[in-house]
Amino acid sequence: MSFLSAIFAPGEQARGDALDAQLAALNQQAYNDGKISADELQRRNVEQAQNYVDVGGQVDQAFVEGAKEGYDNTTGFIKATVAAPFKFAWDIIPWQLMLGGAVFLFVYMGGWIWLKGLLAKK
């Protein structure tokens, strides 16, 4: 039993197990009274075993899924908000202006002097 199920679903596993035991006793009583066959009793027991519910595991799984969904929603919102101005600028400015701006920035930051020095060595 996890601490989450102890907080959010106290006693549910014990209640479910008690109801499963009660159902098994009712099925056994119906078999003893001759109301159902041995095959039907076996089928019911197998079905009950297949439908066993682990409350603690379900609560843990739901917690993890909820935390992941919340994280994805939060980070998705932040990424979209931060990226919006850049996406807008990327979409609205033609590539020719971006290329010209990159060349201008290169020259302005001293790239032309660096490039002349690099070519002079050869």
Domain ranges of the chain: 3-92
Q: Write down the residue that tokens 């202006």 correspond to.
A: 97
Q: Who wins on pLDDT, 111 or 56?
A: 111
The CA-based diameter of the chain, rounded to the nearest angstrom, is 106
Q: Are 63 and 7 in contact (CB under 8 A)?
A: no
What per-residue string of b and e applies to 67-95 under the rule 16 or more CB within 10 Å gives b?
eeeeeeeeeeeeeeeeeeeeeeeeeeeee
Count Cα neighbours of 59 within 13 Å in the Cβ-side half-sphere: 16
Q: What does the chain come to in residues?
A: 122
Q: Identify the band that residue 29 occupies on the pLDDT scale cut at 50, 70 and 90.
A: very high
Alpha helices per DSSP H over 1-94: 3-8, 12-32, 38-50, 55-92
Is pTM beyond 0.75 here? no
Q: Determine the average pLDDT of the residues in 52-80.
A: 86
